[in-house]
Amino acid sequence: MVVEKNVPLQPWNTFGIAARATSLVRIHSVSDLLRLREQPGVSGAPFFVLGGGSNIVLTGDVKPLVLKMEIKGFRLVEETPKAWIVEAGAGELWHDCVAWTLRHGFPGLENLALIPGTVGASPVQNIGAYGVELQDRFDSLDAVDMQTGQTFTLNAGQCGFGYRDSVFKHGGPSVSVDAGDSRNMGLAGRAVITHVRFRLPRPWKPVLGYLDLARRQEESGIAEPDALQIFDWVCDIRRSKLPDPAVVGNAGSFFKNPTVSEDQCRDIIAREPRIVHYPMPDGSVKLAAGWLIDACGWRGKTIGKAGVYEKQALVLVNRGTPADSVTGGEVMTLAKAIQTSVYERFGIRLEPEPVVV
Ligand code: EPU
């Protein structure tokens, strides 16, 4: 097992922030993880799992051991009259997973096309776009508990999915994973996801309710688009609104869309009638953070080498060059300035979405 030292992480985080890993190991299999635990000083020591690096802000060099996930492979696990169950290795790129399933005739992930990152990261933040969240297509996952060396499987309920949230984002009490009870159990810094299985319902039904997609369908005049058509539309919409990390460094949406109570929302609407909001099934109301930030005049602004994307104010971007890139500190300074102005104007606290390392 090769432990690489002082490894540049700039190519491996989509923000393009220059930082280094003190030590890094590439993980190709479950047995790599189990072998790694046997090495002196590894078991019980902190570690950091690096997937596609698309949802992190590096504020300095990473001291804990970095596990670079490179577990590959796709397979159809099971085909029943009700669903296709497909498994993917945690180290596969998410978009390749979407493309593989469609190519093999297993539709259902098309609305999630072109989301940066890896398969292993997808349940961590319960990725979502255009009316579909990962939890809607999730079957189960396999992981290794790096504290005990046990491998275990979790179903959707045990993953504790929420909006851009799961048990993998939280630390927590040391409960035996064996007991199969993950309620209130945080698995951050403990579990390493190795494989994810998706449940793709049959018969396939298109999800076209999201405004951008509905508009796209109307323009096209196609009454019954197939999954490949929706995949193409989603790719087009994303390319027109969101910066390609290969060209402009970014970590997708920088803040979560905040949720407020009906009363709070009524109050805000009275002051800001144009505010973009979506009623939720539980009576609360979700506000478009991009709109709030835009309304405060941040779209297109820059502080240092950190900027707010011109076409979508929810996305912060790297305005530096690879040789002189934005720093994590500059990104966080801009983020704090945005949070302050949104709070001062609307009384709403925006919560960052990426993991700040
Ligand atoms: N808006 C503005 N100004 C802006 C940006 C947005 O007025 O600068 C308005 C838009 O006009 C629209 C509303 O805000 O009415 C919502 O914008 P959009 O449809 O672009 O979606 P979003 O809520 O900003 C969320 C996800 C995205 C996902 C899209 C599409 C979060 C934090 N973000 O963005 O996910 O792709 O919906 O489903 O939930 C990500 O998580 O990294 C991400 C990109």
Per-residue HEC secondary structure of the chain comes to CCCEEEEECHHHCCCCCCCEEEEEEEECCHHHHHHHHHCCCCCCCCEEEECCCCCEECCCCECCEEEEECCCCEEEEEECCCEEEEEEECCCEHHHHHHHHHHCCCCCCHHHCCCCCECCCCCCCCCEECCEEHHHHEEEEEEEECCCCCEEEEEHHHHCCECCECHHHCCCCCCCHHHCCCCCCCCCCCEEEEEEEEEEECCCCCCCCCHHHHHHHHHHCCCCCCHHHHHHHHHHHHHHHCCCCCCCCEEEECECCCEECHHHHHHHHHHCCCCCEEECCCCCEEECHHHHHHHCCCCCCEECCEEECCCCCCEEEECCECCECCCHHHHHHHHHHHHHHHHHHHCCCCCECCEEC
Low-confidence residues in the chain, pLDDT < 70: 172-185
Q: Whose alpha carbon is nearest atom 25 of ligand 1?
A: 129
Contact assessment for residue 216 and residue 250, using Cβ atoms and an 8 Å cutoff: no
pLDDT in tens, 146-166: 999 999 999 999 999 999 999
Is 164 designated active site?
yes
Contact assessment for residue 220 and residue 232, using Cβ atoms and an 8 Å cutoff: no
Query: From the CA of 47, how far away is ligand 1's center (Å)?
Result: 32
Q: Whose alpha carbon is nearest atom 37 of ligand 1?
A: 129
Contact assessment for residue 115 and residue 95, using Cβ atoms and an 8 Å cutoff: yes
**Res 185: pLDDT:** 67
Residue of 314, 315, 353 to mutate, ligand 1, most atoms within 8 A of C-beta: 314
Query: From the CA of 240, how far away is ligand 1's center (Å)?
Result: 13
Query: From the CA of 130, how far away is ligand 1's center (Å)?
Result: 9
What is the pairing mode between strands 132-133 and 138-145? unpaired
Q: Which residue intervals of the chain bear CATH 3.90.78.10?
A: 250-356
**Res 173: pLDDT:** 57
Query: From the CA of 282, how far away is ligand 1's center (Å)?
Result: 21
Q: Which numeric CATH code is attached to 74-201?
A: 3.30.465.10
For domain 250-356, which architecture applies? Alpha-Beta Complex (3.90)
Instruction: Give the predicted TM-score (pTM) of the model.
Output: 0.94
**What is the distance between the alpha carbons of residues 218 and 167, in angstroms, rounded to a whole number?**
39
**Res 41: pLDDT:** 82
Q: Which burial class, exposed, middle or buried, applies to 76 when counting CB atoms under 10 A from its CB (0-12, 13-18, 19+)?
A: middle
**What is the distance between the alpha carbons of residues 202 and 105, in angstroms, rounded to a whole number?**
11
CA angle (83 as vertex; 98, 191 as ends), nearest 5: 60
pLDDT in tens, 277-315: 999 888 999 999 999 999 999 999 999 999 999 999 999
Query: From the CA of 295, how far away is ligand 1's center (Å)?
Result: 14
Contact assessment for residue 166 and residue 191, using Cβ atoms and an 8 Å cutoff: no
**What is the distance between the alpha carbons of residues 11 and 255, in angstroms, rounded to a whole number?**
23
**Res 40: pLDDT:** 85
Q: Whose alpha carbon is nearest atom 15 of ligand 1?
A: 276
Task: Choose the catalytic residue: 87, 92, 110, 353.
Answer: 353
Q: Could you tell me the CA-to-CA distances from 15 to 34, 159, 329 in Å, in that order?
A: 31, 27, 13
Q: Which residue intervals of the chain bear CATH 3.30.465.10?
A: 74-201
Q: Could you tell me the CA-to-CA distances from 84 to 88, 123, 132, 203 in Å, in that order?
A: 13, 18, 17, 10
Please compute Rg for the chain using Cα positions.
21
299 Cβ inside 6 Å of ligand 1: yes
For domain 3-69, which architecture applies? 2-Layer Sandwich (3.30)
Task: Choose the catalytic residue: 190, 253, 299, 330.
Answer: 253
Task: Dihedral sign for Cα 114, 103, 163, 179, please.
Answer: negative
Index of the ligand 1 atom closest to the CA of residue 163: 39
